[in-house]
Structure 1
């Protein structure tokens, strides 16, 4: 699996109990990412299958294939979890926006999205001129155009693109 095609979905916390269960904090807002049977990957590209998953406080208690003891679980603490994108044509993922042009409140083109930066508060759209736009300001996506409703100042001192 090409790591460029994987999306970060969570982080493994500390072990829970003696049988290899792990606490997982989701970075995705889609709980389906952590359901039983899902294939997940570590940064090292090591693949596991979720054999059980249930909500636990603000996290999930997860069992992974091949992890049967607390010691094995401890070795995974702090690891990031990745998964393949969900196949749903109605869902637009942040990485799908790369290459789209950004249109501001006045209908001006502000350039192309070249990257997405993960940020705890909100992912950031990175434009060609290095302008950063939190995805919370995204209004709509149509025909490879991302319409944003930004507060004054984000595009300060920057001319619209032609």
Structure 2
């Protein structure tokens, strides 16, 4: 499998008896879940299945999705804990200073002085701006807001980020 796939959601449970699944979204693009959209389901990188979205709605902060030809809970139960993906060919062009999660996660984070802080392990999307969770070696995880005052440079090719933390951010 030479083609690369990118996560857009994780199926965390079934919902009701009519074949809906509850999805934790891993994308900022609403169109990924529009009816007719082709997604790939995988529980690991060896098993891949094509699914076409039949319906989509938001319920209590989660995406509820049903798939064509999967009308009952029995049809979708096996999808639980798997990931929904798109082909990397379907990536949309982003504006300057916008990044895909996979470009940021795994990047090393440094202070402007050159001192390494840690590595981005997760991205939270709580509201106005994303928050990058940085795993540090001898301290608890640091929460770095993706704002201009803090994040000074992002090198997606070299997987490096330079920050100038505001007071108290790394305490």
Q: Shorter-chain TM-score category?
A: 0.5 to 0.7
Within 2, Cα distance between the matches of 1:130 and 1:27? Answer: 29
Contact 2:15 2:64 (8 Å CA) reproduced: no
Say whether residues 1:110 and 2:84 are aligned partners. Answer: no
Within 1, Cα distance between the matches of 2:138 and 2:52? Answer: 38
- 1:109 alignment partner, SS class: coil
Within 1, Cα distance between the matches of 2:117 and 2:2? Answer: 25
- 1:118 alignment partner, SS class: strand
Partner of 1:148: 163
C-alpha distance after superposition, 1:47-85 (max 9, x if no partner): 212222122232222111331222112222333333346
Partner of 2:25: 26
TM-score of the superposition, structure 1-length normalised?
A: 0.62
Aligned-pair CA distance for 1:38? 4.1
TM-score of the superposition, structure 2-length normalised?
A: 0.60
Within 2, Cα distance between the matches of 1:25 and 1:97? Answer: 19
Within 2, Cα distance between the matches of 1:123 and 1:11? Answer: 23
Segments of 5+ residues of structure 2 without an aligned counterpart are none
The 1:73–1:5 alpha-carbon spacing in structure 2 relative to 1, beyond 3 Å, is: closer
Find 1:50's aligned residue among 33, 49, 53. Answer: 53
Q: How does 1:1-162 map to 2 (within 5 A)?
A: 5-18=5-18, 20-36=19-35, 37-43=37-43, 44-84=47-87, 86-90=91-95, 91-97=98-104, 102-104=109-111, 107-111=112-116, 116-118=120-122, 123-125=132-134, 133-136=142-145, 139-140=150-151, 142=153, 144=155, 146-150=161-165, 154=170
Within 2, Cα distance between the matches of 1:49 and 1:134? Answer: 36
C-alpha distance after superposition, 1:19-68 (max 9, x if no partner): x2223232445433322214232223222122221222322221113312
Segments of 5+ residues of structure 1 without an aligned counterpart are 157-162
- Paired residue total: 150
- 1:6 alignment partner, SS class: strand
